[in-house]
């Protein structure tokens, strides 16, 4: 081979991956029906059994030990499944395990994660961005897009391809046990706008979404992890409210959709049939009536919402018959593949339908970049996942969410020279909120009121507060997932009402619905809502009080007659 030929070969070898990346269509939906040589080549090499196996994703962890990790490796080798869903663990451990698993898989594995608020939802040593309800208060949707972009960068760096997010449910039931802070709010138009921003931030950076939970899980009082919820509403109501954001996202080119486990008689009156297993809902409504062309994921098949009534793999095969492309967390993928083959033999399912789903899955892998690269670079991984620009964005999001309710009188009257009591309620130690005031309030005292404080201790605090000219109160929910009702004892909740009558300035670092469980707080002159108990939220609240930040958030939900969706002073 002469030097000129060698140079051309070397140049092609160097540029080929770049050429393949350039060929990847920017829009997932635009490219899904276009001819694709890589997809066709991989598909032709798959046996019929292996095609079916591509439709299954199983659970993976890096916090369950080597025996569990080895068991998943065995499933990958023997069952030749299509992908994995990673749960709890650490980023470096997951990166190493990803490389191991990809190296033994015949077809590159599609890797997914539930990362609604970023990798920190599942992995240690990573950033957690705000909950969607917190971002529902933000008026600048460009910030939400940027969060989606940063999450996408983390996914690409971790060798993952599908985020089971965003949540498009309208949380119009404050008692909902499973959605709550995971929703952008209770206004369908604003929810649709904000979900679109998050979705585009992910998709514009080559991460597939799984918008959830179609056709809408917001108005339920049952958690589908533990039982089967029922939506008793008419089709007209569902179409005008719950389904609205999903229709808008389909128009905007959603790449993936997750169907929930809910019984919806107005759409399919089969008793105890989850929507995931309903052909009228998955095929007739989602695919045909609404025209969705992307990848359709089931919610986890191990959840009681489906497994209670359809055990032993029956749910897996019925989900595929209904129109699912991907079955998430089958209880037994080997059994499920056999059941699908039986369904085809009995003519309850066709190879045409299976083949169409498999080609869609392979196209998804191509679009996500698995045709060029499937391994993770472990060096400097932790540093990248904690890069300064992501941390800066996290603070910007918290800043933009701060919502001022009732009036700004306490902010205007804030005086650094006054004798000030700073209370943190619900905590067991000094809060970041209290510590922030140390440099600016020299004449102040901190009080810690844990959620199980005694009546005598409350009396002691009550008496001491008489000596102060100014009272600042932080309401904290220390739980990992802030519930709509605070877990304070009755005496402490009553004391909050007393504090409201003492011209106290409140900063609430908790689920906004918790205000409804604090009767009397509505009489407070000024309340800052920060939605969750993070250092970023506490820093933002301090800066609003101290005059270094203008609050711009608006309530994304209606709490009660005193606090309505859209309330919020721009100060």
Alpha-carbon gap, residue 488 to 490, rounded angstroms: 7
Which has more pLDDT, 475 or 222?
475
Alpha-carbon gap, residue 232 to 361, rounded angstroms: 33
The pLDDT score that the predictor gives to residue 22 is 39
> Could you say which architecture CATH assigns to the domain 401-546?
3-Layer(aba) Sandwich (3.40)
What is the C-alpha R_g of the chain? 26
Distances (CA, A) of 541 to 399, 403, 472: 8, 9, 11
Residue 388 neighbours by CB distance under 10 Å: 8
Alpha-carbon gap, residue 16 to 11, rounded angstroms: 8
Vertex 550: Cα angle to 549 and 555 (nearest 5): 120
**What confidence tier does 571 reach under pLDDT thresholds 50, 70, 90?**
low
**What confidence tier does 221 reach under pLDDT thresholds 50, 70, 90?**
confident
The pLDDT score that the predictor gives to residue 26 is 66
pLDDT, one tens digit per residue, over 443-496 is 999 999 999 999 999 999 999 999 999 999 999 999 988 999 999 999 999 999
The pLDDT score that the predictor gives to residue 219 is 87
Residues near 184 by beta carbon (within 8 Å), at least 6 away in sequence: 132, 133, 135, 136, 166, 167, 190, 191, 194, 195, 556
The pLDDT score that the predictor gives to residue 480 is 87
By the 8 A CB rule, do 115 and 87 touch? no
pLDDT beyond 60 at 311: yes
Domain boundaries of the chain, sorted by first residue? 3-389, 401-546
pLDDT beyond 80 at 3: no
What 8-state DSSP symbol labels residue 40? H
**What confidence tier does 18 reach under pLDDT thresholds 50, 70, 90?**
very low
- 215 upstream amide cis, omega within 30 of 0: yes
By the 8 A CB rule, do 146 and 393 touch? yes
The stretch 176-182 carries a mean pLDDT of 88
Is residue 467 classed exposed, middle or buried when 0-12, 13-18 and 19+ CB atoms within 10 A define those classes?
exposed
pLDDT beyond 60 at 21: no
Residue 501 neighbours by CB distance under 10 Å: 11
Beta bridge partners of 444: 420
Alpha-carbon gap, residue 220 to 210, rounded angstroms: 20
The pLDDT score that the predictor gives to residue 438 is 95
pLDDT, one tens digit per residue, over 234-279 is 999 999 999 999 999 999 999 999 999 999 999 999 999 999 999 9
The pLDDT score that the predictor gives to residue 4 is 40
pLDDT beyond 70 at 14: no
The stretch 289-310 carries a mean pLDDT of 95
pLDDT, one tens digit per residue, over 80-139 is 999 999 999 999 999 999 999 999 999 999 999 999 999 999 999 999 999 999 999 999
Q: Name the nearest CA neighbour of 136 among 522, 529, 570.
A: 529
Distances (CA, A) of 426 to 30, 174, 230, 366, 559: 51, 22, 35, 49, 21
The pLDDT score that the predictor gives to residue 20 is 38
The stretch 147-164 carries a mean pLDDT of 98
Vertex 186: Cα angle to 184 and 191 (nearest 5): 45
CA 346, 347, 349, 351 dihedral sign is positive
The SS3 call for residue 526 is strand
The stretch 33-60 carries a mean pLDDT of 97
Q: Tell me the CATH number of domain 3-389, given options 3.20.20.300, 3.30.420.40, 3.40.50.1100, 3.20.20.80.
A: 3.20.20.300
pLDDT, one tens digit per residue, over 538-564 is 999 999 999 999 999 999 999 999 999
pLDDT, one tens digit per residue, over 331-346 is 899 999 999 999 999 9
């Amino acid at each position: 081979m002469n030097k000129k030929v060698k140079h051309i070969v070397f140049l092609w070898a160097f540029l080929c991956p770049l050429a393949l990346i350039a060929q990847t269509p920017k829009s997932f939906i635009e490219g899904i029906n276009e001819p694709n040589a890589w997809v066709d080549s991989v598909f032709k090499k798959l046996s019929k059994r292996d095609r079916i196996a591509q439709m299954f994703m199983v659970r993976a962890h890096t916090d369950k030990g080597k025996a569990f990790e080895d068991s998943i490796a065995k499933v990958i080798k023997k069952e030749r499944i299509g992908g994995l869903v990673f749960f709890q663990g650490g980023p470096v451990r997951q990166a190493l395990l990803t490389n191991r698993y990809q190296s033994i898989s015949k077809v590159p594995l599609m890797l997914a994660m539930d990362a609604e608020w970023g990798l920190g939802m599942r992995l240690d040593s990573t950033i957690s961005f705000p909950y969607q309800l917190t971002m529902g208060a933000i008026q600048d949707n460009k910030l939400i897009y940027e969060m989606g972009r940063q999450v996408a960068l983390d996914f690409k760096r971790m060798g993952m391809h599908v985020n089971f997010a965003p949540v498009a449910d309208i949380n119009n039931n404050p008692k909902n046990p499973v959605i709550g802070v995971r929703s952008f709010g209770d206004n369908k138009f604003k929810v649709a706008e904000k979900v679109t921003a998050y979705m585009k931030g992910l998709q514009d950076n080559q991460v597939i979404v799984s918008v959830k939970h179609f056709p809408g899980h917001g108005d339920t009082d049952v958690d589908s992890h533990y039982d089967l919820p029922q939506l008793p509403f008419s089709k007209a109501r569902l179409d005008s409210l719950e389904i609205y954001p999903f229709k808008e996202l389909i128009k905007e080119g959603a790449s993936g959709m997750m169907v929930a486990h809910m019984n919806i008689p107005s759409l399919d009156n089969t008793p105890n049939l989850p929507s995931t297993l309903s052909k009228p809902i998955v095929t007739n409504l989602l695919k045909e009536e609404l025209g969705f062309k992307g990848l359709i994921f089931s919610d986890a098949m191990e959840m009681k919402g489906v497994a209670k009534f359809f055990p032993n793999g029956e749910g897996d095969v019925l989900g595929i018959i209904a129109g699912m492309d991907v079955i998430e967390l089958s209880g037994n993928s080997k059994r499920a593949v056999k059941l699908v083959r039986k369904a085809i033999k009995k003519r309850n399912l066709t190879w045409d339908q299976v083949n169409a789903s498999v080609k869609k899955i392979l196209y998804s892998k191509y679009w996500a970049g698995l045709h060029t690269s499937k391994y993770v670079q472990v060096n400097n991984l932790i540093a990248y996942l904690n890069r300064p620009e992501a941390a800066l964005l996290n603070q910007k999001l918290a800043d933009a969410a701060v919502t001022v309710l009732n009036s700004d009188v306490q902010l205007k009257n804030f005086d650094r020279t006054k004798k000030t009591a700073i209370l943190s309620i619900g905590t067991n130690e000094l809060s970041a909120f209290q510590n922030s005031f140390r440099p600016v309030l020299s004449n102040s005292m901190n009080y810690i009121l844990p959620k199980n404080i005694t009546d005598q201790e409350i009396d002691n605090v009550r008496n001491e507060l008489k000596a102060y000219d100014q009272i600042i109160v932080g309401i904290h929910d220390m739980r990992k997932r802030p519930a709509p009702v605070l877990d304070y004892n009755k005496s402490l909740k009553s004391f909050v009402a007393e504090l409201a009558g003492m011209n106290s300035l409140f900063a609430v670092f908790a689920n906004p619905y918790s205000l409804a469980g604090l009767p009397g707080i509505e009489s407070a002159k000024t309340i800052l809502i920060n939605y969750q108990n993070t250092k970023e939220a506490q820093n933002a609240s301090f800066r609003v009080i101290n005059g270094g930040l203008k609050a711009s958030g608006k309530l994304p939900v209606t709490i009660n007659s005193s606090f309505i969706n859209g309330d919020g002073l721009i100060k």
